[in-house]
A = this chain, B = another copy of it.
Amino acid sequence: MERERFGLEWTVGHSGSPDEEPAFRVPAKVPGAVQLDWAAAEGWPPFYEGTNYKDYEWMEDRFWSCRAVLDAPALSGDQRLFFVCMGVDYRFEVRLDGVKLHEQEGMFTSFELDLTDRLAPGAKLDIVVFPAPRRPGAERGRAEAAQSCKPAVGYGWDWHPRLIPLGIWDEAFLEVRPALHIRWAETVCRLPVPQEGRPLQADVCLRAVLSQPGGLLRWLVRDPAGNLVAERTLRAETGDVELRLALDNPALWWPNGHGEPALYTSEALLLGEDGQALDRSVSRFGARSVRLVMHEGAWNEPSSFPKSRSNPPITLEINGRRLFAKGTNWVPPDIFPGTLDKGRYEELLEMARDAHMNLIRSWGGGIVNKEVFFDLCDEKGLLVWQEFPLACNDYEAAPDYMNVLDRESRSIIERLRSHACLALWCGGNELFNGWSGMTDQSPALRLLNRNCFDLDPETPFLPTSPVTGMGHGHYVFRDVSTGEEVFQLMPAASCTAYTEFGIPSPAGVEQLTTFLPAEELYPPRRGGAWEAHHAFGAWEEDTWLCEGLIEHYFGPHRTLEELVERGQLLQCEGYKCVYEEARRQKPKCSMALNWCFNEAWPAAANNSLVCWPAVPKPALAAVKQSCRPVLASARIPKFSWREGEWFEPQLWMLSDSPEPVPAVRLTAYLVIGGRRHALLDWTCPELEANGNAPGPTIRFRLPFADTGGRMRLVLEAEGHSEWNSSYTLLLKPGEDGPRRQGLNL
């Protein structure tokens, strides 16, 4: 009964027009990218080394013909042979022995072709991939993507080279199916918002489209432990089948940190008239409700006349419980998304889960990930904020573009809406800012709102990020123009959600050696591989290495190790400050997502927590500390201190745990040059679920010690070492040079 699938052997060649035969072909890996195939065949060194990626640029303007020679399997009388393709990047035609069978623009709409009666022996199936789309007249860069659904990031970003993938980027295979088979099936579970003390019922719906009317559809639903909990059978009088059932008090799907991400299994079994199994479709679903709700007190603002609206809601409420969303911005884990598989996704998603994250913003400049990404997020309790492929451009409403956007967005919504992890649709990235120029009136965004409402009305929709109340940035530890550090910027901010904030650091030394030529490694210089890998001039002048800033705090560096260690320390302490301060601003703030989690290629310096392909930076561990459900925390006025100054951090206990936290005694001390200075003891009272407590503010005169310039603030929770925290800060000599105060020594 399992469908028989056949992989195909592919070759690829390029030419100057869609109908010109390539001069020659080379072996192709599917899924993959034409660029990788070509480079492999030519024996090129890795594209990510040095400035090799520049050698690929000519490829974006060629027509690429991907060919498989089909040897049709023997079919029994009522069997059909399908060619199934999950995605081709980006515009393409499909031809069988030169006859066009299909054409499409857009990488997110799968297609299948019934080849049963078309296959001559040795038939040639060609997928002709057109040049990367480029908006006529657009200046070089992301603006070239502004009239297509091609992810804009490939045209170059401040952490991504210009390298525009093309080719068959998702599974493609032949499949034998019985004539009567399941063309498409989906199980959607709707859960009302649970209410204390009231019985709860999930509404589960199986929808299936059969290739033709006929047969029996048997539906089997199993609980997370594998026990059969419901069974329904329907005679399929028409090709469109819908079955519903109610699950009483279902096991709930919870995000990471809030409970188990319980997943039910839904099996649709198509039986012939004689009862034999013909076809089968299995999927999983989770019972959970999701809403964006107003935070406590939100309706009280604005309070004065003339009165505007209250901020739009951004607090995620899952199963009736308001969450503090701790998470990150997800970018394509590879320049060539065709290379992504379960292993690559899983390695990264494990790191996010282990860092106590519960929300992944899948950024609109990149791809909509493959199915397995969402399966893994379902399993790991990682909520997904999914953006459509619009970012930092004005996507104007030309009819051709609107047609592609309409079809691609419908495909995306229909593919993802049944995933428990899918928490939020969003039109795209920073579209309501000046560098994009779109507004609430932009037809492309009204179309996306329309399609989401029509196809998935229960999932919240944001037109873009940020909307009012939310903030993006800053992206540096210290703003050179204002002199303000995150330590000052964040407490002064008052956003409902920090949906992008970044602190850059260099990659680790070992990582740097994998893609920087040895002779360029140290000291970093402009104009070469460091700059190509975004260490210089990527966004603002000094980004992302921020060498000047590192020297501002630490003085000149003497080795690569020293430079990297210092930059990474800033990233660690900066990210801790932002996550913890965002949590302190609860309930007005209910979300903190750093920019960014991962990388599409190895950046020499970047805001990422994890280097390409999956190499964690120290900041990942630091963020993990700040994202613990319960922790002792300090609001620290600044990073760099001098002897004799009054050190005045405020103590806090932070919790977003769904359980109350018992009272605990905190001890704060400062470690300076191996010596421990007691600061304060504070007994924090019991915290209610998801409740913080501000504590006292320390006031301590800083002594001088020859510490190598650092000190460490340590918070210890009596009997709960898992809540302990520590912060590394700078301690420098007084303005007038080193001296001994005698006060505290």
Contact surface of A with B, Cβ cutoff 8 Å: 291-292, 294, 299-300, 305-310, 312-313, 432-434, 437, 439-441, 443, 446-447, 449-450, 453-454, 457, 460-462, 464, 466-475, 479, 489, 493, 495, 498, 501
Contact = CB atoms under 8 A, between A and B. Distances in A.
Contacts of A460: 441
A309 B466 contact: yes
B472 A443 contact: no
Contacts of A313: 439-441
B309 A467 contact: yes
Given A306-B473, A308-B472, A450-B454, 5 more contacts: A305-B489, A306-B489, A308-B469, A310-B433, A440-B461
A443 to B, nearest CB: 6
A495 to B, nearest CB: 5
Nearest to A397: B457
Contacts of A294: 439
B432 A306 contact: no
A446 B449 contact: yes
Contacts of A310: 432-434
A133 B343 CA distance: 58
A293 to B, nearest CB: 8
6 contacts: A305-B475, A305-B479, A306-B466, A306-B489, A307-B472, A312-B441
A488 to B, nearest CB: 12
Contacts of A461: 440-441, 446
A471 B306 contact: yes
Nearest to A432: B309
Nearest to A435: B299
Given A439-B294, A441-B460, A495-B306, A468 B466 contact: no
Contacts of A434: 299-300, 310
Contact of A473 (B305, B479, B498): B305
Given A450-B449, A457-B446, A307 B466 contact: yes
B474 A306 contact: yes
B468 A308 contact: yes
Contact of A474 (B299, B305, B312, B466): B305
A262 B742 CA distance: 88
Contacts of A433: 299, 307, 309-310
B292 A498 contact: no
A128 to B, nearest CB: 34
A450 B455 CA distance: 12
Contacts of A446: 449, 453, 457, 461
Contacts of A307: 433, 466, 471-473
Contacts of A305: 471-475, 479, 489
A196 to B, nearest CB: 20
A464 to B, nearest CB: 7
B306 A493 contact: yes
A468 B471 contact: no
Contact of A498 (B291, B306, B312, B472): B306
Contact of A443 (B441, B457, B469): B457
A540 to B, nearest CB: 12
Contacts of A450: 449-450, 453-454
A717 B308 CA distance: 37
Contacts of A447: 453
A454 B474 CA distance: 39
A309 B468 contact: yes
Contacts of A467: 308-309, 440
Contacts of A292: 439, 441
A734 to B, nearest CB: 31
A495 B308 contact: yes
Between A432, A457, A468, the greatest number of chain B beta carbons within 10 A of the residue's beta carbon is seen for A468
A473 B433 CA distance: 28
B432 A472 contact: no
Given A305-B479, A453-B447, A493-B306, A312 B469 contact: no
Nearest to A462: B440
A495 B291 CA distance: 30
A472 B440 contact: no
A107 B308 CA distance: 31
A123 to B, nearest CB: 42
Contacts of A498: 306
Between A309, A434, A446, A474, the greatest number of chain B beta carbons within 10 A of the residue's beta carbon is seen for A309
Closest CB pairs A-B (n = 5): A306-B471, A299-B434, A309-B432, A305-B474, A305-B473
A484 to B, nearest CB: 9
A449 B447 CA distance: 9
Contacts of A443: 453, 457
A494 to B, nearest CB: 9
Contacts of A439: 292, 294, 312-313
A473 B308 CA distance: 9
A157 B471 CA distance: 38
Contact of A470 (B308, B432, B470, B471): B308
Nearest to A439: B313
B466 A308 contact: yes
A371 to B, nearest CB: 27
A440 B425 CA distance: 13
A160 B453 CA distance: 36
Contacts of A454: 450
A299 to B, nearest CB: 3
A738 B437 CA distance: 60
A501 B306 CA distance: 8
Nearest to A479: B305
Between A305, A434, A437, the greatest number of chain B beta carbons within 10 A of the residue's beta carbon is seen for A305
Contacts of A473: 305-307
A310 B434 CA distance: 7
A291 B453 contact: no
A110 to B, nearest CB: 26
Contacts of A449: 446, 449-450, 453
